[in-house]
Amino acid sequence: MIRIVARKRLALLETDTHAAFERAREAREAAKEASVRHTVELFAVTDRAERAEATADEVGMLLAGALDELSAGQEELLLKDIALRRLREDLTEALVQARQVFVLVHHGTPVMVYRRREDAYADTAAHAVPMDRDWGPARRFWADAEWLLATFTYDATAHGFRGALTPIAEPVWGAA
């Protein structure tokens, strides 16, 4: 079959072909621009993902360090709790066994606390006080005595120790 094409028809086909080529060129340029935009976005997203991963690694390291510090702190706290319990037990034993404690006082300031009077007498040499010193009570106040060995007795009702100041009676109006 032979087809005869007129000039008019040929011109229309040529115009349609040029229009199709123009649309194809515009589509190609739009595709190229979209490809460039997508590539730029891909690089930006990749960069953000890498930064997020680096931040996550850094946070993970910080968290691991914080957990190590927390563990060490908890261990230290546990050891201190154990030591505190032992001290409480020692104190309870001291309260039950020796219902008295002896405090070495220098001009009203406590220097040392002892469980037994003999320990206090034995340790006085460390404070330049002769062992054979007369440990009489203070006349008015603890501050009046250069050295004083004060006795505190445990009071179960008060759950603590009570000290007693036993002043020496002074003569009234010169009477002896």
pLDDT in tens, 73-88: 999 999 999 999 988 8
With tokens 């199709």, the residue in question is 20
The model's pTM is: 0.37
Q: How far is CA 30 from CA 18, 19, 39, 41, in A?
A: 18, 16, 14, 16
Distance of alpha carbon 100 from alpha carbon 119, whole angstroms: 13
Q: 142 pLDDT band (50/70/90 cuts)?
A: low
Comparing 29 with 154, which gets the higher pLDDT?
Answer: 29
pLDDT at residue 48 above 60? Answer: yes
Average pLDDT, whole number, for the chain?
81
Give the other-Cβ count within 10 Å of 120's Cβ.
20
Say which residues have a Cβ less than 8 Å from residue 103's Cβ, sequence separation at least 6.
110, 111, 112, 113, 114, 149, 150, 151, 152, 163
163 Cβ neighbours under 8 A, 6+ residues apart: 103, 150, 151, 152, 153
Q: Compute how many other C-beta atoms are within 10 angstroms of the C-beta atom of residue 112.
A: 15
Report the range of poorest mean pLDDT among 22-31, 59-68, 121-130.
121-130
Choice between 46 and 143, residue whose per-residue pLDDT is larger = 46
Q: What percent of the chain has pLDDT over 90?
A: 39
- 23 burial (CB, 10 Å; 0-12 / 13-18 / 19+) is exposed
Integer Cα distance of 130 and 54 in angstroms: 73
Place of tokens 């060995």: 149
Contact 142, 111 (CB under 8 A): no
Least confident residue range of 7-16, 120-129, 136-145: 136-145
